[in-house]
Structure 1
Amino acid sequence: MKINIGLEEKDRTGSATILNHLLSDEFLLYTKTRNYHWNVTGRDFYELHKFFEIQYEALDEIMDEVAERVRALGSFAFGTMEQFSKFSRLKEAISDAPSTGSMLQNLLNDHETIIRHLREDQQTAAEKYHDAGTSDFLTGLMEQHEKMAWMLRSFLS
């Protein structure tokens, strides 16, 4: 069925590509956060275990919203490990169990990387693809990541 929402197909496809890269980033960050939830140790175990759980649950919701936005634009959302690995702009941390400080710093770095990409992608969606809906959506996600980064920064202070 033809989609008639005021955006050309090429613009919808462009926005969907941005979103699928973001979905890949979110999935990698979700997985890393979940890993740290499982493997955190030390004096602050319980507090960090619960904190990481709150963060990965928020990331799970974000992933669902991003995938649904891709579908609303008429494209298919990525859904395989191969796609997530290939298109993520984040790097995997290959380590069994880093220190809690490293866990927090790694997650903070990833949130800040996503925030920087969201700023660029928000402008691209608006200016290049004329997609105010996706641009606004990305701004909201940026605000969520800024809050999560602030909380991580607070643990590191």
Structure 2
Amino acid sequence: MQTIGISDQNREVVAHQLSQLLADEFVLYTKTLNAHWNLEGPDFHAMHLYLETLYTEAAEIVDSVAERIRQLDHYAPGTLKQFLQLTHLSEQTEGGNDSRSLLKQLLSDHESIITSIRGSINAFQDAHKDAGTGDFITGLLGTHEKTAWMLRAHLK
């Protein structure tokens, strides 16, 4: 039994919402790896390196979300089946293997995660009395916003 000032019920709700975020982050991580592996085109080298930066950052985010769930004394989902049941993202890809097509898909997913996070921050802090998770996902929001900005800049 934890005594961290958050009720069991609130921790359960927050852990479930974080599990959905974890699933989204893991699907985005996988899609970023796919883009890194299958990219083709005249900007291959530069984009291959950039995508490596993105998937490395995504792996760190996945781990940090899972650890936040564990800090709330819940188990993080860890199977592909669980991730696909929980995610808001689609694992389907459209378009080609050129950087423009791949980055458009990744941008769309980052924007979806941004919207989802933005809708959760106040609930974590206010309704569920978990300012720690609110602060944690506010940091993730900033990371996704910066990445989305960079992807948008490349696509102009």
TM over 0.5: yes
What's 1:143 paired with? 142
Q: Which amino acid aligns with 1:121?
A: S
Asked whether the 8 Å contact 1:36–1:97 carries over to 2, the reply is no
CA shift at 1:99, angstroms? 3.1
In structure 1, C-alpha distance between the alignment counterparts of 2:150 and 2:95, rounded to whole Å: 24
In structure 2, C-alpha distance between the alignment counterparts of 1:94 and 1:42, rounded to whole Å: 18
What's 1:63 paired with? 62
What's 1:106 paired with? 105
CA shift at 1:49, angstroms? 0.4
How many residues in Structure 1 have an aligned counterpart in Structure 2? 156
1:30 is paired with a residue whose SS is helix
Q: Which amino acid aligns with 2:111?
A: E
Aligned alpha-carbon RMSD (Å): 1.2
In structure 1, C-alpha distance between the alignment counterparts of 2:70 and 2:96, rounded to whole Å: 36
Q: Which amino acid aligns with 1:32?
A: K
Identical positions, percent: 44
CA shift at 1:96, angstroms? 8.7
Residues 9-49 of structure 1 show CA distances to partners (whole Å, capped at 9, x for unaligned) of 00111111111000000000000000000000110000110
User: Structure 2: any 5+ residue segments left out of the alignment?
Assistant: none
Larger mean CA deviation between 121-130 and 5-14 belongs to 121-130
Q: Which amino acid aligns with 2:58?
A: L
CA shift at 1:94, angstroms? 3.7
Q: Which amino acid aligns with 1:46?
A: H
In structure 1, C-alpha distance between the alignment counterparts of 2:126 and 2:99, rounded to whole Å: 41
